[in-house]
Amino acid sequence: MRRRAPAHRRPEAIAAYCMVAVPMLIFLLLNIGTFLYAAYISVWNWNIRSGPVDFVGLRNFERILGDPIFQIAIRNSIYYTVVWVPLTMAVGLFLAVVVNQKIRGQTFFRASFYFPAIASSAAITTLWIFLVAPDGFFNEVRGALGLNPLFQLFGFGPHQNWIGDRRTALNSVIVLNAWTTSGTFMLFYLASLQAISREVYEAAAIDGANAWQAFWRITFPLLRPAHFFVATVGMIGGLQLFDQAYIAGSPNGDPVNALMTIVLYLYNALFVQIRPGYAAAVGIVLFVIMFGATLVQRRLFGGTPAS
Amino acid sequence: MNAADAPGRERGQTLRRRLAYTLLLGYALLMFVPFAWTVITSFKTLPDATRLTVIPDPITLGAWEYTLSRLDPSVVVLFANSVFIAAAVTVTNVAFGSLAGYAFARLRFPGRDALFLIVLATLMIPDQLRVVPVYILFSSVGLTVGAGQYVAVIFVTAVSATSIFLLRQYFLTIPRELEEAARIDGAGFFTTFWRVMLPLATPALAAVTILAFQGAWNGLFWPAVFLSPDSDHWTLPLGLTLFRLTGGQGTNWPPLMATVVIATIPILLLYIVFQRYFVEGIAAAGVKG
């Protein structure tokens, strides 16, 4: 088979190559190329100035998996992902269903629910730290509303330091990110909801289904591709948690590793301990975890909708 | 439904709908409360900052004066760095995204599908896997010191698969007849792209512009990687760490909140004016799933 373009189409091909040249070179160098380079670096004891020092094989990986701090980081990242993703999906889906109704002010509601997602993670995390500080807005409001006895039941005093206490730091970040990201998930779901034809619901109504039944029997199953997409995007984002932990917990993941995540651990290995080979190996481990989790999710949600 | 048949039920429904509507409105307003509280706090004194006073007592510009004149590096420098980096990243993403998007959507050339697959494959590679090799590569060519640091942050985010993908999908929806008319008039591929296709793709260009700007303006990871050692190169998100947040204790809140306001205002203004394109961009990025 002839693989070259026919003569009359050469100018078209040349124009096309000119148009894609720069992005493709950047992708090959900084994405595909670095993927292989990272694998290479990870089997060396590497000096940031002079390059490879000695070949260590898989020893970096052994050390990572044996490091108690890394085990904390993995546990935190997985706990965060497992709690945050379903929570944010549920809120996002709820908001999408609400905004998809024929209600007055639809555009206003959609714009409001997405609003917390527009600001930078650094700004919104800073704001959050202020709101949930010991003397902050949240503690003051619950005190004013007389809710303190309820919190006391769970062992939280009136001046609980939500983000500075190791018991509550990670959960505070989960609530923060569920709040900011639910608007984004709402928009993902909304695109799929609008594609479901009204006739399906009319048929269900004739069969006597109420709104609650229609949601669980029709809407929810038909959204299966959207669930898969949102869950995958969420999981990938969750395992990459960095910004909030970096702002709230500094590169150390304070308090006492409560906010130590896989990516923060990698950042530390590269810029605090200055061990590039080790840090590259952490990147590979993260990639393997993400890839494996995506495959598992494809099993759970993937395939054709069951209807 | 006929109200005369079931007046009680009808009234119950109206009541329920009102209640639901009120709850919804309350939740929507709740989305703005934290930001409003930030603005209010920026006009407070430190002792007043931890009290639930809606109107600052006393109202002071002290925090703003502190933020605008006492930060090191100055907030003006932080702002300028953020603008420079975000503008550069936006321009490269729109330029490369539209050119490559057009080529992938419309032109026929050997290897097109394979190259497009590579574009999509980059979405699978997390930034954290790239960071070590990219850092080593850039430091070997002097991009981790001085002004090179800006180049490093811009270079690593200069093109994105999302920009190319969004624009390609949009170009695919434009009828071919419009291009063919231009072609018959003797226009070349670049002229057709520039004169015919680009003007027709305004909504997609707007969405990509906003997504790219928002991503670059708000970004923390790459600035933290490349700009950390030299605070004169910091962006606003990095500048927020100047206040040394230690679990929320002993922090000078009012100037910090003023800095949060400064870091958020540009995006907020964009959102108010171009809300539609934010929403469409996110929704379109989601459809690829």
Residue extents of the structural domains in chain A: 67-133+168-301
H-assigned helices in B144-229: 148-156, 161-173, 176-184, 189-191, 198-200, 202-218, 221-226
Phi-psi region of B244 (alpha: psi -120 to 50; beta: other; left: phi over 0): left
Q: Cβ of B80 under 8 Å from any chain A Cβ? A: no
**Pseudo-torsion of CA A20, A23, A28, A34, nearest 10°?**
-170
Both structure tokens of B207 = 């969405």
| Chain A contact probe: residue of B245, B251, B253, B288 with most A CBs at under 10 A | B245
For A192-204, what is the mean pLDDT? 85
- Helix, strand or coil, per DSSP, at residue A55: strand
CA of B70 vs chain A CAs: smallest distance (Å): 19
pLDDT over threshold 50, residue B247: no
DSSP 8-class letter at A6: P
CB B279 within 8 A of CB A110: yes
CA of A197 vs chain B CAs: smallest distance (Å): 17
Q: Cβ of B119 under 8 Å from any chain A Cβ? A: yes
A237 pLDDT band, cuts 50/70/90, is very high
Going by C-alpha positions, the residue among A53, A58, A22, A25 that lies closest to residue A39 is: A58
Q: Check B131 against A122: CB less than 8 A apart.
A: no
Q: What percent of chain B has pLDDT over 70?
A: 92
pLDDT over threshold 70, residue A302: no
pLDDT over threshold 50, residue B90: yes
Both structure tokens of B173 = 């929806």
So what's the pLDDT on residue A103?
83
Rounded to whole angstroms, how far apart are CA atoms A219 and A305?
A: 12
So what's the pLDDT on residue A243?
92
So what's the pLDDT on residue A24?
96
Chain A residues whose beta carbon lies within 8 Å of the beta carbon of residue B38: 127, 130
**Distance set, CA B180 to CA A2, A43, A209, B106, B184 (Å):** 27, 54, 52, 11, 6
So what's the pLDDT on residue B7?
57
B269 pLDDT band, cuts 50/70/90, is very high
For B19-35, what is the mean pLDDT? 90
CATH topology of domain A67-133+168-301: MetI-like fold (1.10.3720)
Q: Cβ of B212 under 8 Å from any chain A Cβ? A: no
For A170-181, what is the mean pLDDT? 95
Chain B residues whose beta carbon lies within 8 Å of the beta carbon of residue A17: 109
pLDDT over threshold 60, residue B3: no
Structure confidence by residue, pLDDT tens digits, B57-87: 889 999 999 999 888 889 999 999 999 999 9
CB A90 within 8 A of CB A84: no
Which sequence spans correspond to the domains of chain B? 7-63, 73-287
pLDDT over threshold 90, residue A90: yes
A4 pLDDT band, cuts 50/70/90, is low
Q: Check B126 against A128: CB less than 8 A apart.
A: no
Structure confidence by residue, pLDDT tens digits, B165-210: 999 999 998 888 888 888 888 888 899 999 889 999 998 999 999 9
Superfamily (CATH) of domain B73-287: MetI-like (1.10.3720.10)
Q: Cβ of B164 under 8 Å from any chain A Cβ? A: yes
Rounded to whole angstroms, how far apart are CA atoms A115 and A262?
A: 29
pLDDT over threshold 80, residue A72: yes
CA of A153 vs chain B CAs: smallest distance (Å): 24
CA of B125 vs chain A CAs: smallest distance (Å): 7
So what's the pLDDT on residue A164?
87
So what's the pLDDT on residue B241?
83
**Distance set, CA A294 to CA A166, A232, B289 (Å):** 30, 6, 13
So what's the pLDDT on residue B188?
87
**Distance set, CA A47 to CA A67, A277, B152 (Å):** 21, 8, 20
DSSP 8-class letter at A8: G
pLDDT over threshold 70, residue B275: yes
| Chain B contact probe: residue of A26, A30, A235 with most B CBs at under 10 A | A30
